[in-house]
């Protein structure tokens, strides 16, 4: 019973995630280099601003 509810919930969450990915970010996609965070952790533990997306974490889709 609980397992079935969990499966239904996961199906709804998965569908919502896919729909958001396909329709929500039609103009932008998350930056691959920094994984959408806008920065990455440098060797010495500092936050380095991403030069691909300029810190926004998103890049235009055609880029
Ligand atoms: Zn980036």
Structure tokens at 29: 């996609």
What is the CA(61)–ligand 1 centre distance, in A? Answer: 13
Q: How many distinct structural domains can be found in the chain?
A: 1
What is the CA(31)–ligand 1 centre distance, in A? Answer: 5
pLDDT for the residue 63: 52
pLDDT for the residue 57: 87
What is the CA(20)–ligand 1 centre distance, in A? Answer: 20
pLDDT for the residue 14: 95
Q: What is the CATH number of the domain that holds 30?
A: 2.10.230
pLDDT for the residue 24: 60
What is the CA(62)–ligand 1 centre distance, in A? Answer: 15
**pLDDT tens digits for range 13-61:** 999 988 877 766 567 888 888 888 888 887 787 888 888 888 888 888 7
pLDDT for the residue 11: 97
Element of type H or E holding 48: strand 47-49
What is the CA(12)–ligand 1 centre distance, in A? Answer: 30
Judged on CB neighbours under 10 Å (0-12, 13-18, 19+), 39 is middle
List the domain range (segments joined by +) for residue 45. Answer: 2-60
SS3 percent helix, strand, coil of the chain, rounded to 5, is 35, 20, 45
């Amino acid at each position: 019973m609980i397992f079935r509810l969990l499966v239904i919930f996961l199906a709804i969450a998965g569908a919502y995630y896919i729909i958001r990915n396909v329709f929500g970010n039609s103009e932008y996609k998350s930056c691959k280099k920094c994984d959408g965070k806008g920065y990455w952790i440098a060797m010495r533990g500092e936050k380095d601003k991403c030069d691909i997306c300029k810190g926004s974490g998103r890049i235009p889709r055609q880029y």
